[in-house]
Amino acid sequence: MQKLEVFGISKLRGQIKISGSKNASLPILAATLLSSKKIYLKNLPKVKDIETMISLLKSLGSKIKLRKKNLIINNSKQSKNFASYNLVKTMRAGILVLGPLLAKFGNAKVSLPGGCAIGSRPVDIHLKALSKLGVKYKIIQGYVHANAPKGLIGSKIRFSKISVGATENLIIAASFAKGITILKNCAIEPEIKDLVNFLIKSGCKIKWITKRSIKIEGVSQINQITYPIMFDRIEAGTYLIAAAITEGNLKIKNIIPKVIQTEINILRKIGAKVFTKKNEIKIIGNKKIKSINIKTAPYPGFPTDLQAQIMVLLCKANKKSSIKENIFENRFMHVAELNRMGAQISINGNEAIVEGNINFASAELMATDLRASVSLILAALTTKGKSIINRIYHLDRGYENIEKKLKMVGANIRRIN
């Protein structure tokens, strides 16, 4: 099993080009199932979750050619509607094929999803919303057996809570439903906006009617298009925090700064100097880091996917800070490993109290999920000596060439078997 060795202390300097977004690519890949024509996708990240989704699409009958970071998908002969547990177990986004398969065939059998063990992530919000489009379903031995006897029929649907996955699934499904669908209380993450833009350019009739409401008029087919995937805002945020924690000086390129304005504002409050241009950010870390209280929230709030990373930075702050995790109920698993490195973090329900003025010590560490694994790298970059991070397969699910990118800006890091 592969591990990472990280040797501190590193002050990161140089520039990093941000990859395409994993979280935008996955629903767009699922949405290509609607098409019977060729779809060309550009700027796909080379990460494990994308490989898994491509394998899932191939198992459903998609013909796919991958050329560097560009993908050609041909679904003209795609005819299968069974998504097996073996392909869905490592990735919660696997459930996103349910909507397009129901829209296309009227029935589907899809395994309940897996992914990081950071919360229950129930799919009941997906299923209840789909049932309002005319879907009947049962869950048998870990599989969703779903069918729409009369096809999908447009409806007015209000999500019981804001859910990124359910919003994506319903947008895709409703694009082929008969009549008009109104979705209310939608998630509005940039990755959802990217999915909507992809579908509109494909010929779907979708319109935002309020901040969190969408009107979708169903169509019967979508067009052949070429579409570039947006940048990965979580990867960008991770490297911004890496610069702040190492007193670094980094240029983050291939991004749109306004998409991550919340993160930029928080880093400025903490004490980092952040300068923005059209497609790049320059950040200079400050030796003095100010404490702050943060709560995770749906976009445009602070993202749960950066909670572990910002926690590492707050361990270096001048005073006590707090982080409230409002998205997932089990997303503090990195705390035990950070405390082993010298952090003083206590948990009270969904709130973490982070003592400041910490100097991390090198250690052998165990990654528990995707974002927790990268938080351990950030902490290790500030230590004297060698840290070893185990179970980095989590890391490879969502970060493209992370050790190579960090090496290029001065980190002493290597992958070992």
Q: Which residues are known catalytic residues?
A: 116
b/e burial code for range 73-89 (CB count within 10 A of at least 16 → b): bbbeebeebebeeebbb
Distance of alpha carbon 239 from alpha carbon 377, whole angstroms = 11
| Residue whose entry in the numeric block shows the structure tokens 């400025």 | 268
Q: Dihedral sign for Cα 197, 201, 202, 206, please.
A: positive
- How many other C-beta atoms lie within 10 A of the C-beta of residue 368? 23
Residue 341, judged by CB atoms within 10 A of its CB (0-12, 13-18, 19+), counts as buried
CA 169 to chain centre: 15
